[in-house]
Structure formats: structure tokens, C-alpha cells
């Protein structure tokens, strides 16, 4: 372990530590324009929030609050203390901006070194970081963590598949950091060049930045012949390193000495009992530059209350099902893209990319799913494709009441993704 004492701390001591840190977090928050306004408007005395339970009295912070307080309404330190800024990807609108002091950067790198060690990575590994560098937190976040751990880091960033392959071959990359959609695309590029991906030295991948299903993880592990670890984080709470799979890969440990978590009913905002699925709400317990209290992540998950076999006491969260705003309603039924992905990726003939297009024809919702198949599928009988189409429609039926129109495509037909994939195109004019 990277920090055995902290990672195996007893639940009681962990709670005491969180409570102690909460005090500092409240003091920092009171220095910001945003939180001082929130405290004033709600008649809250921050000095009176002394237990984790008191946090319930604070209103949630949302992405919109960050947007409104742009650029520096949430900053708690003088500009001279800030050493870096990042921004979110802007998947759901205008990007939000995050600031860090040197202590913040160090604490973040430490969490990532801890996460990487939890997966069994050591200083002997060669780590190729295929996430976007720059304002996006995915690149530099793991970069600093891997350096802290002592890996050799190849900062290859995302895209440019030919160069990625060359680097993996020439420098014997053992660990990669990549989005699941790019992992599926890159493995095809590798095979298209006549290289057997299973012959590369890559033994591990950290997959994150976008929702994906367990079936997709299996597919990636199988095609690359490696182990895939789920990595979760969001810019508003530093970036990656909020929660990470350990070697057992059975849910991600959320690093509770730095983040206090709540799971709420996204409609009512009420706290849910442990183990129920809802929206994750996070409080950063030790950020200097930009305190963050009760941030609504919009990500849906549940806490796995049972202790993990690895001995770490920090609770695990389940794979993120999607964002509350990813959900679409088709024919009156709520559907998450990840549910469709689970069905598709369980069909052995299905290849590595798909897209969901929503349309409205004559007042009715239609769903059109474009699916790439494995290349072998186009060498056989056309009637096989027809049968396959029917099978996919049938398997989707339990999920979506309207009949899906399925279009089967050859590999490489859909726009490839090198970063966060766009899975749903909604053409309905509502």
C-alpha cells in the first residue's frame, strides 16, 4: 500500500479525521465570495457546522453555481498562492474552472500514486498516458501521480494512434490510461496493422472519464489480454483519483480521508440509506484554493457497504451508471445509454463502436441504433445479418418499449473516439 495507515484506518478514526478536516474546509469556504453568500443567505454560521451530520443543513453546490461564480467566485486564496488551473471537458455545457495551490497539487498526486499502487503498479512499470493533456484533468492528473510513484511516464496524450502503437512497442509500455471508447478503437488500429495486441507488453489499463458497462470492460480485457481498472473522478473535485478499483476490481474505493460522500435521491435531494442507488454528492475535505461543499456530481451509483478483501477501509462505489442528465425518455420509458451498451456488448458478433440516434417521426419517438460488427460478420450469408438484427431488437425489448431500428455497420464506419465518446445524438425537436 502507498499509505497503509491511512488506507486501513478504522472507520471510527476515519470519521474523526473527516470531522477534523471539515472544520478547516468550512473556514476555507467562508473566505470565498460564493460560500460567504450561501452562508449569509441561509442564515448559516459556518463555525457551527462541526459534525458531518451538520453538513445536511448546507445547500448543494451545482455545476451551474460554478458557472455563475466564474472565474474566481469560489477561490479562497490570493492569486499568488495559485499554481495551476484546469477546466472540465464541457460535456454538458460551458466548462467549469478549477484552481490548485501547490499543496492541492501535491495532495492530488498523492491520491493518484495511492490509487495506482492499489492496482499493483510499481516504479518498474512503464506508464503511457493516452488521456488529453492541457486543461482536461485526466492527462496531468495521472501524470503527476505516476511520477510520484516513480513509474517511467510516456506523456503521449490522446489520439495519433500510429504513434501510440509505436511507443508501446518501442518502450515496452506495461500500463496505459485511456478512455474505454478509445481503448476499443485503438485495439482495432493495432490489429489493422497486422500486430497482435495480445503480444504487446501492456498488462493493465486505467479506464475512466466516461460511463461504460461491465460487458465493455470484459471486451477490452479480452481483446488486449490485460486487466482493466475503473478510475473515477471529476474536475470539480480535482479530477481522477476520487475513486479507483483496487486489485480485486469489485467496485472503486472512494478515498474518504479526502472526500466525504453522500448519496441522494436526485429528485428530492434527500439522503438515501447506505447501499441504495442515487446521485453521488461529494465534499472536498482538504482543498485550499477551491473549497467544495456538497457538490452534486450528477453521477449515479451506490455504495458497496461490505468490506473489501484488500483490507482498505475506504468504502467502495459501484460502476457509475451514467449521469442524471444522460438519461433519455423514449416512448415514456427512462433509459440510460449504459443499459443499451450492456445489451449490445453482450452480443458476441458486435464490434467496438455504436451510436444511439433519437428521432421523432409523426409525433412518435423512434430510436435508431447504429452498431459496428466484427469484420468476419460480413463474409458470410446476408441472411445471418438479418437474423442478428432481429436478435438484437429482441434483446433490447425488455429495456425499450418502442422497436429499435438497428443498422449493422462494418468496423470503422462510425466516427472514432479518442477522448470522451458521444454515444447519443438526439435529433428530436422538443
Residues interacting with ligand ADP, by CB under 6 A? Answer: 88-92, 136, 208-211, 230-235, 297, 299, 320, 323
Of the listed pieces 95-103, 301-309, 355-363, 375-383, which binds Zn ion according to CB under 5 A?
301-309
Query: Given candidates 14, 52, 105, 310, which one binds Zn ion under the rule CB under 5 A?
Result: 310
Residue 6 site contact among Zn ion, ligand ADP, none (CB < 5 to 8 Å, cut-off depends on kind): none
Q: Least Å distance between CB 121 and Zn ion?
A: 15
Of the listed pieces 63-71, 199-207, 238-246, 344-352, which binds Zn ion according to CB under 5 A?
238-246
- Give the C-alpha separation, 72 to 75, whole Å: 5
Cell numbers describing residue 50: 462541526
CA 174 to chain centre: 22
Residue 283 site contact among Zn ion, ligand ADP, none (CB < 5 to 8 Å, cut-off depends on kind): none
Residue 88 site contact among Zn ion, ligand ADP, none (CB < 5 to 8 Å, cut-off depends on kind): ligand ADP
Mode of pairing for the β-strands spanning 316-317 and 252-254: antiparallel
- Give the C-alpha separation, 165 to 422, whole Å: 24
CB-CB neighbours of 109 under 10 Å: 21
Q: Least Å distance between CB 297 and ligand ADP?
A: 5
Of the listed pieces 39-47, 68-76, 309-317, 329-337, which binds Zn ion according to CB under 5 A?
309-317
Q: Least Å distance between CB 315 and Zn ion?
A: 10
Binding to Zn ion by residue 1, rule CB under 5 A? no
Q: Least Å distance between CB 392 and ligand ADP?
A: 24
Of the listed pieces 8-16, 260-268, 310-318, 397-405, which binds Zn ion according to CB under 5 A?
310-318
The answer to whether 279 and 267 are in contact (CB under 8 A) is no
Cell numbers describing residue 259: 472526500
Per DSSP, helices labelled H in 31-155 are 33-41, 63-68, 102-118, 137-149
Residue closer to ligand ADP (CB basis): 91 or 427? 91
Residue 310 site contact among ligand ADP, Zn ion, none (CB < 5 to 8 Å, cut-off depends on kind): Zn ion
Residues 239-278: x/- map of binding to Zn ion (CB under 5 A)? -------x--------------------------------
Residue 124, classified by CB atoms within 10 Å of its CB into exposed (0-12), middle (13-18) or buried (19+), is exposed
Q: Least Å distance between CB 212 and ligand ADP?
A: 7
Q: Least Å distance between CB 414 and ligand ADP?
A: 20
- Give the C-alpha separation, 180 to 203, whole Å: 15
Percent of the chain that is helix, strand, coil (3-state, to 5): 35, 25, 40
| Cα–Cα distances in angstroms (integers) from residue 119 to residues 122, 214, 268, 387, in the given order | 9, 18, 37, 42
Residue 249, classified by CB atoms within 10 Å of its CB into exposed (0-12), middle (13-18) or buried (19+), is middle
Residue closer to Zn ion (CB basis): 229 or 336? 229
Q: Least Å distance between CB 122 and Zn ion?
A: 17
Of the listed pieces 54-62, 129-137, 302-310, 353-361, which binds Zn ion according to CB under 5 A?
302-310
Residue closer to Zn ion (CB basis): 22 or 254? 254
- Give the C-alpha separation, 389 to 398, whole Å: 16
Q: What does DSSP assign to residue 80?
A: G
> Could you tell me which residues are beta bridge partners of residue 234?
239
3-state secondary structure of 158: coil
Residues touching Zn ion, count (CB under 5 A): 4
- Give the C-alpha separation, 387 to 326, whole Å: 30
Residue closer to ligand ADP (CB basis): 216 or 313? 216
Q: Least Å distance between CB 114 and Zn ion?
A: 12
Q: What does DSSP assign to residue 103?
A: H
The answer to whether 75 and 306 are in contact (CB under 8 A) is no
Residue closer to ligand ADP (CB basis): 14 or 105? 105
Of 114, 112, 165, nearest to 143 by C-alpha is 112
Residue closer to ligand ADP (CB basis): 290 or 392? 290
Query: Given candidates 308, 320, 369, 388, which one binds Zn ion under the rule CB under 5 A?
Result: 308
The answer to whether 52 and 74 are in contact (CB under 8 A) is no
CB-CB neighbours of 51 under 10 Å: 12
Q: Least Å distance between CB 375 and ligand ADP?
A: 28
Q: Least Å distance between CB 322 and ligand ADP?
A: 8
Residue closer to Zn ion (CB basis): 207 or 308? 308
- Give the C-alpha separation, 192 to 416, whole Å: 14
Residue closer to ligand ADP (CB basis): 243 or 373? 243
Residues near Zn ion, by CB under 5 A: 246, 308, 310, 312
Amino acid at each position: 500500500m502507498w499509505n497503509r495507515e491511512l488506507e486501513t484506518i478504522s472507520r471510527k478514526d476515519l470519521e474523526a479525521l473527516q470531522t477534523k478536516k471539515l472544520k478547516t474546509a468550512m473556514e476555507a469556504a467562508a473566505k470565498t465570495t460564493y460560500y460567504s453568500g450561501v452562508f449569509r443567505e441561509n442564515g448559516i454560521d459556518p463555525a457551527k457546522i462541526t459534525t458531518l451530520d451538520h453538513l445536511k443543513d448546507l445547500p448543494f453546490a451545482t455545476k451551474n453555481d460554478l458557472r455563475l461564480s466564474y472565474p474566481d467566485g469560489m477561490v479562497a486564496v490570493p492569486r499568488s498562492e495559485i499554481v495551476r488551473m484546469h477546466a472540465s471537458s464541457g460535456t454538458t455545457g460551458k466548462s467549469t474552472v478549477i484552481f490548485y495551490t501547490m499543496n492541492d497539487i501535491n495532495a492530488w498526486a498523492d491520491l493518484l500514486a495511492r490509487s495506482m499502487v492499489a492496482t499493483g503498479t510499481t516504479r518498474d512499470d512503464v506508464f503511457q498516458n493516452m488521456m488529453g493533456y492541457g486543461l482536461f484533468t485526466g492527462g496531468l492528473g495521472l501524470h503527476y501521480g505516476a511520477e510520484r510513484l516513480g513509474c517511467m511516464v510516456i506523456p503521449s496524450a490522446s489520439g495519433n494512434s500510429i504513434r501510440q502503437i509505436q511507443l508501446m512497442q518501442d518502450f515496452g509500455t506495461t500500463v496505459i490510461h485511456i478512455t474505454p471508447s478509445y481503448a476499443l478503437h485503438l485495439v482495432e488500429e493495432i490489429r489493422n496493422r497486422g500486430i497482435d495486441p495480445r503480444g504487446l507488453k501492456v498488462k493493465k489499463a486505467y479506464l475512466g472519464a466516461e460511463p461504460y458497462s461491465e460487458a465493455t470492460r470484459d471486451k477490452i480485457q479480452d481483446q488486449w489480454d490485460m486487466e482493466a481498472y475503473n478510475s473515477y473522478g471529476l474536475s470539480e473535485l480535482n479530477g481522477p483519483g476520487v475513486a479507483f478499483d483496487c486489485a480485486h476490481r469489485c467496485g472503486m474505493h472512494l478515498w474518504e480521508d479526502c472526500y466525504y460522500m453522500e448519496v441522494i435521491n436526485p429528485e428530492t435531494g434527500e439522503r438515501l440509506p447506505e447501499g441504495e442507488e442515487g446521485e453521488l454528492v461529494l465534499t472536498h475535505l482538504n482543498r485550499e484554493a477551491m473549497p467544495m461543499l456538497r457538490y452534486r456530481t450528477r453521477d449515479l451509483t451506490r455504495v458497496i457497504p461490505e468490506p473489501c478483501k484488500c483490507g482498505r477501509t475506504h468504502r467502495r462505489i459501484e460502476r457509475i451508471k451514467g449521469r442524471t442528465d444522460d438519461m433519455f425518455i423514449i416512448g415514456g420509458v427512462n433509459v440510460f445509454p449504459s443499459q443499451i451498451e450492456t445489451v449490445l456488448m453482450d452480443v458476441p458478433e458486435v464490434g467496438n463502436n455504436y451510436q444511439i440516434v433519437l428521432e421523432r417521426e409523426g409525433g412518435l419517438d423512434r430510436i435508431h441504433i447504429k452498431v459496428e460488427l466484427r469484420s468476419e460478420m460480413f463474409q458470410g450469408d446476408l441472411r445471418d445479418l438479418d437474423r442478428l438484427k432481429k436478435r438484437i431488437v429482441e434483446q433490447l425489448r425488455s429495456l425499450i418499449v418502442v422497436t429499435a431500428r438497428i443498422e449493422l455497420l462494418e468496423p470503422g464506419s462510425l466516427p472514432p473516439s479518442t477522448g470522451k465518446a458521444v454515444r447519443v445524438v438526439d435529433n428530436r425537436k422538443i
